[in-house]
Amino acid sequence: DTGVSQNPRHKITKRGQNVTFRCDPISEHNRLYWYRQTLGQGPEFLTYFQNEAQLEKSRLLSDRFSAERPKGSFSTLEIQRTEQGDSAMYLCASSQLQGRHYGYTFGSGTRLTVV
Amino acid sequence: DAKTTQPPSMDCAEGRAANLPCNHSTISGNEYVYWYRQIHSQGPQYIIHGLKNNETNEMASLIITEDRKSSTLILPHATLRDTAVYYCIYQTGANNLFFGTGTRLTVIP
């Protein structure tokens, strides 16, 4: 297992276009998270899944954002009608229970630039 | 959101110990403290975690005060590759990690 994989690494899109990112978690991890990180800030939580169920969504996740995790395996994050403010690094993480805490592993992220 | 306070930046000479402090005065008794670091253009990397006792692994040591309101991450012999942003985090019952802005550590040759 090579860890959490995210594709693409970089995406440049024109304002108004739709984009979709993919995350492949560590295979035995049942939890999957999406975070967004803007320049100079720490990652901000967007949403998380336990298996295929989306259990929590941040207020940052506007109606233009949708995430799925079919069959509890990989996940996709789609942004519709992109805006320049959507430019950020989108990070995926997966975790599993280790004793009494969850160990998180992050991917390398997808950097989105909206022009 | 789970609030931690860290200095925005620190320098450390190569080969010396780097001691990164963190205040987490609102932490509750069953919440773990986690440390992650992020090297430019990469995802956060797990370093260490702890609950009450001091912890050590191959990367670092974590010293947690008896009242659990603060902790210190120690990199015993800092190298240039340790230059990164270091985040001190604790997980609330919301089941996700809340990152602050971290400490930017610069290791100086």
Q: Cβ B96–A106 below 8 Å, yes or no?
A: no
CA distance A93 to B47: 15
Nearest to B1 by CA among A45, A5, A105: A45
Nearest-CA distance A21 → chain B (Å): 15
Residue of A nearest to B102 (CA): A42
Share of chain B above pLDDT 70, in %: 94
Contact A93 B43 (CB under 8 A): yes
> Sign of torsion, CA B41 B43 B46 B51?
positive
Region of poorest pLDDT, from A82-86, B3-7, B72-76: B3-7
Segment A25-69, tens digit of pLDDT: 999 888 999 999 999 899 999 999 999 999 988 888 889 999 999
B101 touches chain A (CB under 8 A): yes
* Residue B45 β-bridge partners: B37
Which of B42, B95, B101 comes nearest A42 by C-beta?
B101
SS3 A72: helix
